[in-house]
């Protein structure tokens, strides 16, 4: 079964992440399937706008940690020591470029976020041109606490230095309302109005000729690219591999194998575990 669905609806190309049983957690196949769907929409002369959404209860809960962290032994995301940084970089750089197909598409991409857009799911959502969230949805990059660096690094380009540091030095999640107030996303609306809001903006854009849409998007994007986006992403992708193979990162992998990824993530996000010493932090020191 495809992990990403695509269909054309008049002038709108609709891409849907399709692993609802795991809140659309990112599988090995999903990044490439996103890029393939974007390419299909981009090549279609009848499609003016792309709408990206997630099936089920959330947009995307990040990489599938059951496969990447909890599973014993090596996998494409974690190697045995000594690790090969270029092998890791090739794997993650391909994923980064697949996510960035949303940014580089000639046609505008609207991302609709409900439930969660966290960890790698935030990378996907923030590569879109316009991101609209439900007020009660949550977005964040919690692996900044251990085992990750956002490879697309759209946080700094959307937020600026200080607010990007506020998010990535804490690994906090914030609501759609907070994200809109901060300027991370275009807007947040009540959950029962999310579909209507996205459809209204998509319809408005779909009435514009494709060449006009493409030129406006390209000229805005080049301003961001001129700020060193590609170089920032290369460094972030290398750092992401280092975070997973650092002593703390390997301890997170071991802990996930021992107690399951859900408990390991809870300990990471609540700050109750010392990943350097691989032990609980005494309550008096938290």
Query: What pLDDT, on a 0 to 100 scale, did the predictor assign at position 82?
Result: 94
Taking the CB of residue 193, how many other CB atoms lie within 10 A of it? 12
Where are the strands (E) in 95-189, listed by range?
109-113, 116-118, 130-134, 138-140, 173-175, 187-189
41-84 per-position pLDDT tens digit = 999 999 999 999 999 999 999 999 999 999 998 999 999 999 99
Query: What pLDDT, on a 0 to 100 scale, did the predictor assign at position 283?
Result: 82
Q: What is the mean pLDDT of residues 207-233?
A: 98
State the pTM of this model. Answer: 0.96
Domain count of the fold of the chain: 1
Strand, coil or helix: 177: helix
Query: What pLDDT, on a 0 to 100 scale, did the predictor assign at position 134?
Result: 98
pLDDT band at 1 (very low <50, low <70, confident <90, very high): low
pLDDT band at 286 (very low <50, low <70, confident <90, very high): confident
pLDDT at residue 221 greater than cutoff 80: yes
105-117 per-position pLDDT tens digit = 999 999 999 999 9
pLDDT band at 284 (very low <50, low <70, confident <90, very high): confident
CA gap 158, 156 in Å, rounded: 5
Query: What pLDDT, on a 0 to 100 scale, did the predictor assign at position 85?
Result: 96
Domain that holds residue 161: 4-285
Tokens 């805005």 locate to 220
Q: What is the mean pLDDT of residues 242-252?
A: 96
Phi, psi (rounded to 5 degrees) for 161: -65, -55
Domain at 131, CATH number: 3.90.226.10
**DSSP bridge partners of 7:** 14
pLDDT at residue 135 greater than cutoff 80: yes
Query: What pLDDT, on a 0 to 100 scale, did the predictor assign at position 102?
Result: 98
Query: What pLDDT, on a 0 to 100 scale, did the predictor assign at position 192?
Result: 98
């Amino acid at each position: 079964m495809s992990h990403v669905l695509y269909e054309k609806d008049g002038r709108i190309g609709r891409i849907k992440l399709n692993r609802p049983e795991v809140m659309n957690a990112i599988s090995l196949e999903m990044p490439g399937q996103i890029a393939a769907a974007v390419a299909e929409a981009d090549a279609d002369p009848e499609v003016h706008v792309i709408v990206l959404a997630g099936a089920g209860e959330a947009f995307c809960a990040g990489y599938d940690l059951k496969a990447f962290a909890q599973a014993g032994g090596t996998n494409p995301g974690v190697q045995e020591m000594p690790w090969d940084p270029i092998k890791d970089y090739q794997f993650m750089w391909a994923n980064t470029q697949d996510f960035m197909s949303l940014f580089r598409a000639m046609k505008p991409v609207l991302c609709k976020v409900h439930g969660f857009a966290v960890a790698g799911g935030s990378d996907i959502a923030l590569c879109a041109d316009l991101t609209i969230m439900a007020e009660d949805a949550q977005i964040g990059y919690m692996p900044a606490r251990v085992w990750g660096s956002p490879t697309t690094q759209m946080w700094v380009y959307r937020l600026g230095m200080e607010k990007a540091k506020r998010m990535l030095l804490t690994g906090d999640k914030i609501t759609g309302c907070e994200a809109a107030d901060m300027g991370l996303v275009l807007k947040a609306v009540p959950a029962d109005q999310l579909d209507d809001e996205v459809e209204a903006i998509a319809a408005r854009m779909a009435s514009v000729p494709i060449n006009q849409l493409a030129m406006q998007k390209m000229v805005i994007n080049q301003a961001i690219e001129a700020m060193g986006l590609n170089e920032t992403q290369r460094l972030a992708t290398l750092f992401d591999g280092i975070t997973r193979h650092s002593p703390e990162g390997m301890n997170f992998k071991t802990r996930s194998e021992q107690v399951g990824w859900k408990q390991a993530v809870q300990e990471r996000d609540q700050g109750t575990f010392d990943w350097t010493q691989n032990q609980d932090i005494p309550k008096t020191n938290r």
